[in-house]
Amino acid sequence: MLPLIDGDVKLELSDAKLDEMRALLPMFYDVGPSPATVSHVSVPGAAGQPDVTLVVHTPKGAAHVRPGILYIHGGGMVLGDAVMRQGIDGARAVDWDCVMVCVDYRLAPETRFPGAIEDCYAALTWMAQNAERLGVDTNRIAVMGDSAGAGLAASIAQLARDRGGPYLAAQILIYPMLDYRTGADDDPNPNPTTGEFSWTRESNRYGWSALRGDYAAADARAGHFSAALAKNLTDLPPAFIATGTLDLFFEEIMDYARRLCRAGVPTELHSYAGAVHGFDILPDAAVTKQFHTDLERAARRMLAAEEEI
């Protein structure tokens, strides 16, 4: 999502404002070029669907086998692309010594469910099949995202399980967008203290509606659309989840983390007091620094080779 968190500023999405918001989003991630070696790859999409563009960040220097992360950008299902965070994505590739593969999935409302999730799954499949070429250890592949991208990452973890692969070592979910009901009349856990800044109930309803179209969200694919709807969370990869207590998604994230734990999924959950959605856009804030420390420690541990554990 767009992390507008200054004072009373709120992002209000609509069909009329969508093009304007898409043009504005990159300025919030003006973090310079990637410090890694960058390549752009077009890979086959799902059957009958267009190819998917990937942006691959590989640390410079001597080649060796590394962990691989499929990164899925945020943007409320309707905004963003795979290059807007290239400085951040490349820096993580270098700092964590991993190959970062960022997927440019199709956005709603131009592409409804299951377009985005199928694009991300095609990217994951290609990544696993081309691991040797990428210098990636197939036993150390993770799926990661922020906001809507984290929601898609959670659904990808379910989809990979349901389709029998590829294997995932971890799911790293940064304030994930998990439940299409949040902020709607049928919100299962309404919280009056969340969603007042940055990403609002109105914007959430717009983003989910744009993705959903006429899909009823009542069949076996429901968790692939909205991860919180999955009835079965067993046999999923270990999870790292982070959120702020004022984030609109706080309640759905707490519930999803609890359900993961009950399903026997190793889950590390961090809740940052007073933080709103997209809080880490402020790099010098104490809470952002703590988040980055927690995130890096968890990612390194979850993706370590056996001999490093």
pLDDT value of position 195: 81
Q: And the tokens for 2?
A: 């767009």
Kindly report which listed range (83-92, 128-137, 185-194) carries the lowest average pLDDT score. Answer: 185-194
Q: DSSP state, 6?
A: S
pLDDT in tens, 238-294: 999 999 999 999 999 999 999 999 999 999 999 999 999 999 988 999 999 999 999
Given the residues 137, 198, 277, 280, the one annotated as active site: 277
| Structural contact between residues 160 and 121, judged by C-beta atoms closer than 8 angstroms | yes
CA–CA dist 189, 78 (Å, integer) = 24
The whole-model pTM stands at 0.95
pLDDT value of position 3: 39
Distances (CA, A) of 198 to 140, 148, 156, 249, 255: 34, 14, 26, 12, 22
* Complete domains list, the chain, with CATH: 10-304 (3.40.50.1820)
Active site residue 185: no
Given the residues 34, 147, 155, 226, the one annotated as active site: 147
pLDDT value of position 10: 53
Dihedral of CA atoms 277, 150, 127, 292 in degrees, nearest 10, equals: 40
Residue among 85, 91, 73 nearest 35 (CA): 91
Q: What is the mean pLDDT of the chain?
A: 93
> Measured on CA atoms in the order 166, 169, 171, 172, is the torsion positive or negative?
negative
Q: And the tokens for 57?
A: 């960040």
Given the residues 81, 146, 247, 280, the one annotated as active site: 247
Confidence of residue 11 (pLDDT cuts 50, 70, 90): low
Q: What is the mean pLDDT of residues 6-13?
A: 55
Q: And the tokens for 31?
A: 């973090």
pLDDT value of position 30: 62
Active site residue 15: no
Whole-angstrom distance between the N-terminal and C-terminal Cα of the chain? 34
Active site residue 247: yes
Cβ partners under 8 Å of residue 106, min gap 6: 50, 115, 116, 119
